[in-house]
């Protein structure tokens, strides 16, 4: 039986700051899975809203999560984590 492990991930970025995604960690098995899910959600949002310049900026970003391991996030009681970018 899976326990609902949904956590909030927020962009910490000059361009995308404040963008939030709720991610069910039962669908992830690594930090890369979390980051890829975050990226896919942001990419979809930008595409739907036709933010073509921001889509190009997103493609140049290297999204990542500092400080925490996947296990830290899964086992933590914290409900919010930050996804950073770098070019």
Does the pTM surpass 0.85? The reply is yes
Around 51, how many Cα atoms within 13 Å sit in the side-chain half-sphere? 14
What's the pLDDT at 79? 85
Can you list the positions of beta strands (E) in the chain? 6-12, 20-24, 80-84
Pick left, alpha or beta for residue 78 (phi over 0 → left; psi -120 to 50 → alpha; otherwise beta). Answer: beta
In the chain, how many domains are there? Answer: 1
60 domain residue, yes or no: yes
DSSP string, 60-85: H---B--S--HHHHHH----EEEEE-
- Note the pLDDT tens digit of each residue in 18-65: 999 999 999 999 999 999 999 999 999 999 999 999 999 999 999 999
1 domain residue, yes or no: no
17 domain residue, yes or no: yes
For 46, the domain range is 6-84
* Distance of alpha carbon 84 from alpha carbon 9, whole angstroms: 10
């Amino acid at each position: 039986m899976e326990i609902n492990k949904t956590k909030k991930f927020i962009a910490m970025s000059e361009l995308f700051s404040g963008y939030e995604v709720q991610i069910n960690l039962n669908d992830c098995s690594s930090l890369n899975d979390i980051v890829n899910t975050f990226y896919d959600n942001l990419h979809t949002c930008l595409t739907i809203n036709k933010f073509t310049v921001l889509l190009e900026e997103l493609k140049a970003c290297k999204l990542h999560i500092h400080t925490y391991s996947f296990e830290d996030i899964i086992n933590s009681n914290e409900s919010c984590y930050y996804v950073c970018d770098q070019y």
